[in-house]
Amino acid sequence: MSGSIQAPAIDARGITRVYKAKPKDVTALAGIDLEVAPGEFFGLLGPNGAGKTTLIKILTTLLLPSAGTARIFGFDVATETRKIRRIMNMVAGGEQSGYGILEAREQLWMFSQFYGLGAREGWRRVDELIDAVGLAEQRNQRVSTLSTGQRQKMNFARGLLNDPWVFFLDEPTLGLDVSAARSVRELIVGWRAAVPGRTVLLTTHYMAEADELCERIAIVDRGRILAIGSPAELKRRVQRESIFRLELDRLAGGPGGLARLPGVVSAVAALNAPADPDAPVRQAVVINLVLREDSALAGVVAALDGLGAHIVALAKSEPSLEDVFVELVGRGFDDNEEAARSNEVPVEPHEAGQPDPEEKR
Amino acid sequence: MIDAGLVEGERFDPGRARGRGTIDLLRSFRTAAALGWKMEANWTDPVLFFIYSVAKPVASALILVFMLQVIAGPAGIALRPFVIVGSALWSFVVSGVAGLAWAVLDDRERYRMLKYIYVSPSSFITILLGRGIARLAVGAMGAGITLAVGVIVLGVPFNLGDIDWLLLAIVLVLGAVTICALAVVMAAVCLQTRQESWDYPEVVVGALFLVVGAVFPLSVLPLPLQAFGLVSPLTWWIAGVRQALFPGGPSSIGGPGSLWQQLAGTLNPSAFEVVVALLLSGAVVTLASAILFRSGEARAKDRGLIDRTTGS
């Protein structure tokens, strides 16, 4: 099969990866099936050691699978590596990479040559990307003098040199401060939005990041995909009821009257004070309202008129992706490393100090 | 918004997946060589550059010359050209063979860039050769300076008019290819190993030093080691350069009672025989290195070693 635009951007079937290690073999991936459409922003969300980095290494032709096949726009990762490398690029976070002796602009130009750009075209593209990622002031600065965030921006510029069809981002904001991480996320979103069809595969263990950026997410744990869907779809899996936070100016008779309305599971006073401590004191009532479904809200709003109450604020409380993970796995992200240690779950080299995955079976 | 200067519709050109063959190779090689030169030559630290690229090879040569002087007395003076040439060439061998291996280890362990280079569409081996060629150039400078010190300071008789330029050109080209081939083998080895393999190239080259006639003739070695020396292209390369620079001087290969004399029936190999032996043994080593690198790269990729770091 040869590559084409009609093919899925990423098509992985039964990807398995087993490392031979002492005292026992480590299964990093246990039969991953994944299809990402061209133009999609897809996320792999999972704790350290879930297998995300191993999968990205296989998809970027850095590592061979023990079993299974994977194709990038129809090109096989095992046999058509050169073709894949021309149409994809990757950026990893959490590392201090770069040739310290070179200036930022020089290093980028060097890679432009490795990506087959002509000398003049290479400089033009480098200058364009340096400006785009906000490194204009550092363009002639040595790489060794750049901050972690600046290095990551430079790394992004390198990853965009060949304008990849598929951009693999492996924990791109790992180790960055809040401001730098936000800046990097804006870069990703900006780059993708500029031209329709650009595909991104992002691995992260930051749930808010996955929620904010990804159109679809695969939740990964211990080498397996547990669920795939949009963030909203995934959350709906655990949200069997609709939860609202309702703030009223007053409520005669208390929230008990609301609890008896059709479709209302419960209505409980949550707080009897204004949210803003500096605001004038008023008799606000805050209610946690649990409904069987969203449509029951209309009946509640109609009933409030009859009770002489006016809505000050209304917000729907949604479950987080962590709730989804807990529902699927039975433990939180934070519990994972301890569980991994006690159960000898594989810990990915990139993510956790390399357990020396020497051999593949 | 980042559009990298591209417009919609340009992105899915199937031709992008094909590349431009030789042009891309040459561009990658040239760029890698420039990078290597900038990094390996330590131009930013002239003291380091002087120590490793000038003082070290010159000091090695001087040590050998003075040892010869102590042991052989006045007779040792006649052997100075032999020792100086061998010693100078050996610094070139060490730099060349270590170049690619150190590029692998540097990029993987120190700069953490090997994976990005590896997943670029350029030929991996071409980039490594580019990096290595810079170190070879630095080694050549060291060799040249050592020879100059030998001529100027130690009075080694040297006459430009006596040089067999054709032989010198041929053996230098063949020798450079052979050294690059050995460097490729070491790079393949270091792809499989950890950071302690920094010393591997020098260990291997140090072992070869004994059997290729660098500073003493093969005839002083036991026959099995002489046989090993005769199949090594480095032996023929060093002998060829000596023969080109100092025609009629002592040979490291032949001599009374040597294995060469027993096999060929002549005291020393002729220039033609040296070139043919270098060509054949160099071709075998080059072919073997290509196979070894290919299999070594495949093994490293299979076992996840391309981007493995050891936390140094």
Residue of chain A minimizing CA distance to B306: A62
Task: State whether B111 and A99 contact (CB < 8 Å).
Answer: yes
Q: How many CB pairs under 8 A join A and B?
A: 144
Contacts of B308 in chain A (CB under 8 A): 349, 354, 356
- Closest to B87 (Cα-Cα) out of B252, B308, B269, B200: B252
Task: State whether B16 and A87 contact (CB < 8 Å).
Answer: yes
Which range among A211-215, A300-304, B101-105, B157-161 shows the weakest confidence by mean pLDDT?
B157-161
**pLDDT tens digits, residue range A190-232?**
888 888 889 999 998 888 889 999 999 999 999 999 999 999 8
| Cα B30 to Cα B36: distance, rounded to the nearest angstrom | 10
A342 pLDDT band (50/70/90 cuts)?
very low
**pLDDT tens digits, residue range A51-81?**
999 999 999 999 999 999 999 999 999 999 9
Task: State whether A116 and B27 contact (CB < 8 Å).
Answer: yes
- A84 vs A30, A63, A136, B121, B157, CA distance in Å? 24, 13, 31, 8, 59
Q: Which residue has the tokens 């200067």?
A: B5
Environment class of residue B132 by beta-carbon count within 10 Å: exposed (0-12), middle (13-18) or buried (19+)? buried
Report yes or no: A353 and B311 within 8 Å, Cβ to Cβ: yes
Contacts of A194 in chain B (CB under 8 A): 1-4
At residue A282, the pLDDT reads 52
| Residues with Cβ within 8 Å of residue A46, at least 6 apart in sequence | A52, A203, A205, A219, A220, A221
Residue of chain A minimizing CA distance to B124: A114
Report yes or no: B81 and B210 within 8 Å, Cβ to Cβ: no
At residue B109, the pLDDT reads 87
Q: Give B213 to chain A, closest Cα distance, Å.
A: 39
Task: State whether B307 and A57 contact (CB < 8 Å).
Answer: yes
Contacts of B35 in chain A (CB under 8 A): 99, 102, 110
Beta partners for A325?
A: none
At residue B17, the pLDDT reads 58
At residue B42, the pLDDT reads 58
Starting at the edge strand that comes first in sequence, how are the strands of the sheet with A88-92 ordered? A88-92, A166-170, A199-204, A41-45, A216-221, A224-229
| Cα A199 to Cα A36: distance, rounded to the nearest angstrom | 8
Residue range B139-156: average pLDDT?
Answer: 84
Task: State whether A194 and B1 contact (CB < 8 Å).
Answer: yes
More confident residue, B9 or B15: B15
Residues 125-144 on B with a CB inside 8 Å of A are: 127
| Cα A5 to Cα A269: distance, rounded to the nearest angstrom | 55
Task: State whether A194 and B3 contact (CB < 8 Å).
Answer: yes
Q: Which residue has the tokens 């990866």?
A: A17
Task: State whether A83 and B18 contact (CB < 8 Å).
Answer: yes
At residue B18, the pLDDT reads 64
Task: State whether A61 and B44 contact (CB < 8 Å).
Answer: no
Residues in chain A: 361
Task: State whether B19 and A116 contact (CB < 8 Å).
Answer: yes
This prediction's pTM? 0.80
Is A343 a residue whose pLDDT tops 60? Answer: no
**pLDDT tens digits, residue range A227-271?**
999 998 898 877 777 888 889 888 877 888 888 899 988 888 874
Q: Give B25 to chain A, closest Cα distance, Å.
A: 9
- B18 and chain A in contact, CB less than 8 A: yes
Task: State whether A101 and B4 contact (CB < 8 Å).
Answer: no
- B193 and chain A in contact, CB less than 8 A: no
The three-state (H, E, C) secondary structure of chain A, written as one string: CCCCCCCCCEEEEEEEEEEECCCCCEEEEEEEEEEECCCCEEEEECCCCCCHHHHHHHHCCCCCCCEEEEEECCEECCCCHHHHHHHEEEEECCCCCCCCCCEHHHHHHHHHHHCCCCHHHHHHHHHHHHHHCCCHHHCCCEHHHCCHHHHHHHHHHHHHCCCCCEEEEECCCCCCCHHHHHHHHHHHHHHHHHCCCCEEEEEECCHHHHHHHCCEEEEEECCEEEEEECHHHHHHHHCCCEEEEEEECCCCCCCHHHHCCCCEEEEEEEECCCCCCCCCCCCCEEEEEEECCCCHHHHHHHHHHHCCCCEEEEEEECCCHHHHHHHHHCCCHHHHHHHHHHHCCCCCCCCCCCCCCCEEC
What ranges do the domains of chain B cover? Answer: 20-302
Contacts of B301 in chain A (CB under 8 A): 62-64
Is B192 a residue whose pLDDT tops 60? Answer: yes
Task: State whether A82 and B19 contact (CB < 8 Å).
Answer: yes
| Cα A57 to Cα A52: distance, rounded to the nearest angstrom | 9
Residue range B41-69: average pLDDT?
Answer: 72
The three-state (H, E, C) secondary structure of chain B, written as one string: CCCCCCCCCCCCCHHHHCCCCHHHHHHHHHHHHHHHHHHHCCCCCHHHHHHHHHHHHHHHHHHHHHHHHHHHHHHHHHHHHHHHHHHHHHHHHHHHHHHHHHHHHHHHHHCCCHHHHHCCCCCHHHHHHHHHHHHHHHHHHHHHHHHHHHHHCCCCCCCHHHCCHHHHHHHHHHHHHHHHHHHHHHHHHHHHCCHHHHHHHHHHHHHHHCCCCCCCCHHHCCHHHHHHHHHCHHHHHHHHHHHHHCCCCCCCCCCCCCHHHHHHCCCCCCHHHHHHHHHHHHHHHHHHHHHHHHHHHHHHHHHCCCCCCCCC
Report yes or no: B184 and B290 within 8 Å, Cβ to Cβ: yes
Beta partners for A170?
A: A92, A203
Residue of chain B minimizing CA distance to A131: B2
- B13 and chain A in contact, CB less than 8 A: no
- B295 and chain A in contact, CB less than 8 A: no
B contact test, residue of A57, A76, A108, A110 with most B CBs within 10 A: A110
Report yes or no: B126 and B28 within 8 Å, Cβ to Cβ: yes
Q: Give B29 to chain A, closest Cα distance, Å.
A: 9
Half-sphere exposure of A346 (CA within 13 A, CB side): 27
Task: State whether B12 and A165 contact (CB < 8 Å).
Answer: yes
More confident residue, B295 or B34: B295
- Closest to A10 (Cα-Cα) out of A82, A65, A76: A76
**pLDDT tens digits, residue range A172-191?**
988 788 888 888 889 889 88
Contacts of A103 in chain B (CB under 8 A): none
Q: Give B230 to chain A, closest Cα distance, Å.
A: 38
Task: State whether B6 and A163 contact (CB < 8 Å).
Answer: yes
Q: Give A162 to chain B, closest Cα distance, Å.
A: 9
Residue of chain B minimizing CA distance to A124: B5
For A165, which of B11, B28, B310 is closest by C-beta distance?
B11
- B294 and chain A in contact, CB less than 8 A: no
Q: Which residue has the tokens 């100090």?
A: A353
Contacts of A360 in chain B (CB under 8 A): 302-304
- Give the tokens for residue B239: 């002998």
At residue B148, the pLDDT reads 86
Report yes or no: A54 and A27 within 8 Å, Cβ to Cβ: no
At residue A274, the pLDDT reads 46
- B66 and chain A in contact, CB less than 8 A: no
Q: Give B6 to chain A, closest Cα distance, Å.
A: 8
B contact test, residue of A151, A155, A195, A200 with most B CBs within 10 A: A195
Amino acid of residue A85: R
Roughly what angle, to the nearest 10 degrees, separates helices A321-329 and A231-238? 50
Contacts of B309 in chain A (CB under 8 A): 354
At residue B197, the pLDDT reads 79
Report yes or no: A236 and A342 within 8 Å, Cβ to Cβ: no
**pLDDT tens digits, residue range B242-284?**
999 988 888 889 888 899 999 998 999 999 999 999 999 999 9
Residues 204-233 on B with a CB inside 8 Å of A are: none
- B120 and chain A in contact, CB less than 8 A: yes
Task: State whether B310 and A354 contact (CB < 8 Å).
Answer: yes
On average, the pLDDT of chain A sits at 84
Is B150 a residue whose pLDDT tops 60? Answer: yes
Task: State whether A85 and B120 contact (CB < 8 Å).
Answer: yes
Environment class of residue A260 by beta-carbon count within 10 Å: exposed (0-12), middle (13-18) or buried (19+)? exposed
For B119, which of A61, A96, A349 is closest by C-beta distance?
A61
Contacts of B303 in chain A (CB under 8 A): 357-360
Count CB-CB contacts under 10 A for residue A245.
Answer: 15
| Cα A151 to Cα A135: distance, rounded to the nearest angstrom | 9
Task: State whether A90 and B14 contact (CB < 8 Å).
Answer: no
| Cα A309 to Cα A331: distance, rounded to the nearest angstrom | 41
